[in-house]
Amino acid sequence: MALQLEELVAGIDKERVLVLRDYVSTCGQRQRKVDRAIQQLDALTGSDLLDLDSVARVIGFATGEDFHEQSASPRGYRMLAHIPRLPETIMDRLVVTFGSLQRLLCANLEDLQAVEGVGESRVRSVRDGLSRLAESGVLDRHV
């Protein structure tokens, strides 16, 4: 059983970090908050992981009566991670500039090129990469 579990979770650490970067509260020191969220998620029991309030608290969402009415949208880290040769610093700048995957997808070439470190060739690779992901259906699962 332990071997099967290892096979099932092999390689998901990077994806877990990207999911958390997409959704963890945005108020400063994001990487520290992501690291803390990982530790707290690891400490949750199986039943706690099934409780939406527990997981939401770890990620940084306010819980309460209207908790289930809150919306959350991805920032775009998981999608940008699928684009070959895109440095993490550029990924961070794109996400900080546009704030959400939706706004990143709607950005035109000039908007993308206005981001520091994003030149003409990188703009094309980001646009082409996001277009390929949209065509392959990967984007639909993450929006």
Q: What's the confidence (pLDDT) of residue 2? A: 75
Q: What's the confidence (pLDDT) of residue 138? A: 59
Range of the domain at 100: 77-142
Q: Are 37 and 59 in contact (CB under 8 A)?
A: yes
Task: Tell whether the model's pLDDT for residue 14 goes beyond 80.
Answer: yes
Whether residues 114 and 85 share a domain: the answer is yes
* Cα dihedral 116→120→126→129 (10° resolution): -170
Compute the C-alpha angle 94/99/104, nearest 5°: 60
Whether residues 83 and 125 share a domain: the answer is yes
Task: Tell whether the model's pLDDT for residue 64 goes beyond 80.
Answer: no
Residue ending a domain, choose from 69, 91, 106: 69
CATH code (residue 88): 1.10.150.20
Q: Of 86, 135, 93, whose CA–CA distance to 112 is shortest? A: 93
Number of domains in the chain: 2
Q: What's the confidence (pLDDT) of residue 28? A: 59
Q: What's the confidence (pLDDT) of residue 67? A: 66
- CA-CA distance, 21 to 23, in Å (whole number)? 6
pTM of the model: 0.77
Residue ending a domain, choose from 69, 93, 115: 69
- Summarised one tens digit per residue, pLDDT across range 75-91 is 899 999 999 999 999 99
Whether residues 119 and 64 share a domain: the answer is no
Mean pLDDT of 46-62: 84
Residues found in the chain: 143
